[in-house]
Structure 1
Amino acid sequence: MMWNKVLILALIVVVVGLATAAALAPAWQQNPYLGKYLPLAKDIILGLDLQGGVHVVVEAQDTPESRVTPDKMQQLRAVIERRVNQFGVAEPVIQQQGDRRLIVEIAGISNPEEAVRSMVKTAYLEFKTEDGKTVVTGADLKDAMESKDPTSGQVKVDLTFTAAGARKFAEATAANVGKHIAILLDGQVLQNPVVQEAIPNGKAQITGYQSLEEAHNIAILLRSGALPVKVEIAEKRAIGPALGADSLDKSKHAGLVGVVAILVFMLMYYRLPGLVADFALLIYTLIVLVIYVGMHVTMTLPGIAAFLLSLGIAVDANVIIFERLKEELATGKSLRSAIDAGFKRAFTAIFDSNATTFIAAIVLYFFGTGPIRGFAVTLGIGIVASMFTAISVTRWLLHLVAASGLVKNAKAYGA
C-alpha cells in the first residue's frame, strides 16, 4: 500500500470538507470574526425574482427645448441603464412601454429612494462665465471620480475633460483670470470659484460635499451623461419576489433531495468510481460557487435551472466515463490501463455534447435579453466547470485511489 498516496487522499478529503463548510454552512454567519466573509454562498447576488425590488415607470415629457422622439427614447434608455448599472445593480430590467415610457425594475438596492432620484435627475453640467456664457458642458466631460483629500479630508469630484473640452476649458480660464466661472448642475450653482490662472490640463474639481457617498452619486450622474429629455415618475412601487419564501424553501428542499438521489445512485451503481464522482461533483459545486461570487453573477430562477442542468451534464459525463471503464475492465486490462483507456474513449463524446451545449449558451447570450442572458451565463460557467471536473479531477482522483492500493478488487470499480 502506498501510504503517501493514502495521506494525499486524506488531505484532499479534509481540505474539500473544510472548503465546503466554509462555503455553504450557515453557522459561519454567527461567527463575529468570519461571519462577514463566510459562508461564501451568502455573497451570491439574487435577482429580482428571488429577492424583490422596486418597479418604476418613467415617462418622457415634451419641453420647448427638447421634444420626445424615438431616438431620444433610445438615448434615455441608454443613460438610465448606465446609471442603474453604476449603482452596483446587477441585471436590471429596463424596457420601453409605448412611445414615451420606460419600465425599470431594480433588485436588491440598499436605498431605493436615492436610486430612483438619481435615475431621473437631469444631470446637466455647465461651466458659465460672469456674463452668462456657457463655455463647457457635460458633453465635454471624459470622466468624473469622487475622492477625498488625505490631508484636509475634503470630499470632491475630480473632472477630466475630453481633448476638445480641455481646449475649451483652457481658453475660458485664460480669458477669465481674476473672474468667476460658475459650475452649475441642472441650473443650480454648485461652486462659483475665481480663476487664479489658466488651466491647460483639462482637469477641474467640484467641492463642498458632506460625504463621499454624496460625491459618488454625483460622479455617477456625470459619468452616465445628462438625460436627453425631461422625465417624470409615472409609477413607483415595491415588488415582492416572484417566488415566495415558502415556495423558495420548497424548491431548495426539492433540489437537495434530487442531488442526494443522484449521489446515492452513483454510489450504488458504480461503487468506488461513483464515490469518486460524488466527491468530484462536490468540488464542481465549489468551483462554480467561487466563479459566481468572483464574477458577481446574479442568481435568478432561470439561473438556478441552468445550474441544475449543468450539474446533470456533469453527472452524464461521469456516467459515460464509468461505462467505458467497465468495458475496459471486462476485457482484462489492468486497473490503471482501464482508467486511461476509459477516459480516452469517453472524451470525444463528452467534448462533443458539451461543445454543442456551450454553443447554444453563446447564442442565447448574444441574442437573448435579461433572464435569458443570465441563464446562458450560468449554463456556460457550469459547462466549463463540469468538463474540468469530469476530465481532470475525476481522472486524477481515480488514479490516486488506484495507486494507493486501498481497493484492488476490480468489482469495486464496477467490473
Structure 2
Amino acid sequence: MNSETIVNLIKDWRGALLLVLVIGSLVGIYLAPPNPEKGLEGNLQFGLDLEGGSWLQMEFQSVVVTYSTSGSVEDLIDNLQTDLETDVTQIDADHLEIRKGVSRAELEPIFAASDASIVAYQKGVSQPTADDVKRILNEKVNALGMQDARINLLTPTGSEYPQYVRIELAGVDMATAQEIVGKQGMFEIRIQTTGNATEHVIYGDQITSVGVPQKDPRNQDWSVAFSLTDAGAQAFQKAAIEHGAVNNPESHFLVMLLDNETVYSAPLNQKLAAELRSGPVRSLSASTGLGDAGLEDAMELEIHLRAGALPVDVEVVGSGSVPAALGEQFKTVVLLAGVLALLAVGVMVYLRYREPTIVIPMLAVNVSEIIILLGIARFIQQLDLASIAGLIAVVGTGIDQLVIITDEVLHEGRVPSPSLYMKRYARALGIIAASVATVVIAMFPLALMDLSTLRGFAIITILGAMVGILVTRPAYGKIIMAILSK
C-alpha cells in the first residue's frame, strides 16, 4: 500500500478507531504511569501463576439452618447463643445463620427444646456475611499496600450459600499470607481532653459485638452500633465524667484509632452525655453521615470496630505457593508460546493465500487486537495462566474470522465489484456476529462465577470477541478492500 492509501485508511473511522485504541492501550501499559523497572511488562498485573506468591482456601465455620417453630424466634436464638456460645443471626423468616461449625445432630436437641425443628441444614454463610468477609479481607490487603490480590467467594454446586473464601496474593510468601488472614489490628478509643490532646479510654478487646450499618429513619443518618463489656462501659463513663465531656459534649471528641491511624472522630452526642451522668452505657452508636458517602464510611467503620477480625471463624482447608523463580520461568514459556502461536498462524495463512499483502495485514490486525486486550486487562484483570490461554485462543479465533472475511469477498481469486464486495463483506460479518454471540453466551456464566481458575479465561475470551466484532473486524474489512482494489 502506498502512503495515500494508508492516509485514507487512517481517515476512515474504522481505521482511526483501531489506531486510537492501540495507541491508548500502549500508553496505559507503559506510560500511565511510567514503570521502566518492569521493562516489557509495563503496568500489566500478573497473578501468582506468573508473579509467584501464595494462595489460601478457607472454609467458613458456620451453618445456615432452615427452621420451623411454634414458639418464639427470639427465645430460639437466645437458647442457641447460650448453648453454643456463638453469634446467631436471623437471615429471614425461615433461616438462621449460626456462626459456628456445628453438626445437625448437635443442633437438633436445642431446636427441640425451643419447640422448633430443622427443615434443612447447609454449611456456609449468608450472602451479607460473605460480602463482609470479602470487604474486610480487601481492607486488610489494601492497608498493607498489596494491590495484586484476588479474593473469591466459592459456593458448592447445589448450594445457595458461600462455603469457602479463596485469597491469592501475588509476590507474597505463605507465612505472610497466613498472617494477613489471621492478624487483628490494634483498635483504641480515646477522648479529647483539652486542645488537641486525647486520653486513652478502652482498647478493642472491650468491644463485645458490632452491628451492621443502619439508617436512622428520622434524620436518615447512617450509623454503626456496638456494645462494650461492663468494664469497658465503666471506663468509658469514668473518662467522660473526669474530662468534662458529659457537661460539654460538643467540645470533647471521641477518637477511634486502628494501628495508631485515626478512623473516626466526632463529638460526644448530647443524649449519650446525659445517660453517662446517671450510669455506664454499654450500647453505643457512631454516626457517619448521610447518603452513599455516609454508608461507605459506616461500612469501613464496622470493619475498624472489629479490628480487622472476620465476623465468622475460618479454617484453612487448602494452600499453595508458586516460587518467584518459577513464576518468571512461566512468563518466559508463555511469551514463547504466544510468539510461536502467532508465527504458526502466519505460516498457515501464507500457505493458503501465497500473498504477503494479505498475510501481513492479517497478522498486524491480530497483534493490534492482543495489544488492545492487554490495555484493557491492565485495569480490570490480573494475567494468570488461564488469562494467557484466553489470549492465545483469541489469536486463533481472530485469524479464523479474518479468513472468513477474506474468503467471502474473494471469488475464485478475483476481486469483486464494490457493490458485490459490500454484500459479501456484510454476509461475512453476519457469520462472525453469530459466532461471537455463541462465544459470549457460552463464556458469560463462567465470567460471573467465582471460579478463579476459569474466570480469567472467560473474561479475556469475551473481551476478545467484543473487540473483534466492534473494532478489528470492521477495520480489517476496510484494509482488505484497499488491498484488493490494488
Query: Does TM, scored on the shorter chain, surpass 0.5?
Result: yes
Contact 1:306 / 1:376 at 8 angstroms: preserved in 2? Answer: yes
| Pair 1:112–1:5, CA change in 2 (3 A) | same
Contact 2:54 / 2:319 at 8 angstroms: preserved in 1? Answer: yes
Is 1:261 paired with 2:344? Answer: yes
The structural deviation recorded for 1:128 is 9.8
| Pair 1:242–1:322, CA change in 2 (3 A) | farther
> Which secondary structure state, in structure 2, belongs to the residue aligned with residue 293 of structure 1?
helix
Distance in 1 separating the partners of 2:305 and 2:479: 51
Contact 1:302 / 1:372 at 8 angstroms: preserved in 2? Answer: yes
> Which secondary structure state, in structure 2, belongs to the residue aligned with residue 106 of structure 1?
strand
The structural deviation recorded for 1:380 is 0.5
The structural deviation recorded for 1:297 is 0.6
Q: Which residue of 1 aligns with 2:5?
A: 5
Q: Which residue of 1 aligns with 2:100?
A: 68
Q: Which residue of 2 aligns with 1:149?
A: none
The structural deviation recorded for 1:138 is 4.7
* Structure 2 residue corresponding to 1:249, chosen from 332, 347, 351: 332
Is 1:107 paired with 2:169? Answer: yes
Distance in 1 separating the partners of 2:351 and 2:10: 22
Distance in 1 separating the partners of 2:171 and 2:339: 29
TM-score by length of 2: 0.56
Q: How many residues align?
A: 359
Distance in 1 separating the partners of 2:223 and 2:6: 68
Contact 1:23 / 1:41 at 8 angstroms: preserved in 2? Answer: no
The structural deviation recorded for 1:382 is 1.0
Is 1:365 paired with 2:418? Answer: no
Counterpart residue type for residue 324 of structure 1: E
Moved more, 220-229 or 302-311: 220-229
* Structure-to-structure mapping, 1:77-92, within 5 angstroms: 77-86=130-139, 87=142, 88-92=147-151
| Pair 1:56–1:220, CA change in 2 (3 A) | farther
| Pair 1:139–1:111, CA change in 2 (3 A) | farther
* Structure 1 residue corresponding to 2:438, chosen from 352, 356, 370: 356
* Structure-to-structure mapping, 1:13-32, within 5 angstroms: 23=26
* Structure-to-structure mapping, 1:94-173, within 5 angstroms: 104-108=166-170, 117=179, 119-121=181-183, 138-139=210-211, 141=213, 163=221, 165=223
TM-score by length of 1: 0.63
> Which secondary structure state, in structure 2, belongs to the residue aligned with residue 298 of structure 1?
coil
The structural deviation recorded for 1:261 is 2.0
Q: Which residue of 1 aligns with 2:457?
A: 375
Distance in 2 separating the partners of 1:283 and 1:220: 46
| Pair 1:242–1:319, CA change in 2 (3 A) | farther
Distance in 1 separating the partners of 2:173 and 2:247: 42
Counterpart residue type for residue 136 of structure 2: R
Distance in 2 separating the partners of 1:280 and 1:136: 61
Distance in 2 separating the partners of 1:399 and 1:61: 63
| Pair 1:395–1:84, CA change in 2 (3 A) | same
Query: Identity over the aligned pairs, expressed in percent?
Result: 19
Is 1:315 paired with 2:399? Answer: yes
Q: Which residue of 2 aligns with 1:287?
A: 372
| Pair 1:181–1:220, CA change in 2 (3 A) | closer
* Structure-to-structure mapping, 1:315-354, within 5 angstroms: 315-327=399-411, 330=414, 333-334=416-417, 336-354=418-436
Contact 1:177 / 1:195 at 8 angstroms: preserved in 2? Answer: no
| Pair 1:275–1:373, CA change in 2 (3 A) | same
Distance in 2 separating the partners of 1:318 and 1:231: 50
| Pair 1:140–1:244, CA change in 2 (3 A) | closer
| Pair 1:324–1:374, CA change in 2 (3 A) | same
* Structure-to-structure mapping, 1:210-225, within 5 angstroms: 221-222=303-304
The structural deviation recorded for 1:65 is 5.1
The structural deviation recorded for 1:50 is 2.1
Superposed CA RMSD in Å reads: 5.6
The structural deviation recorded for 1:361 is 0.7
Counterpart residue type for residue 100 of structure 2: V
Counterpart residue type for residue 376 of structure 1: A
Give deviations 1:131-186, integer Å, cap 9, x for gaps: 99x9997536579xxxxxxxxxxxxxxxxx97363899xxx99x934367755679
| Pair 1:16–1:263, CA change in 2 (3 A) | farther
Q: Which runs of 5+ in 2 are unaligned?
A: 63-83, 88-98, 103-121, 157-162, 192-200, 227-236, 273-284, 290-299
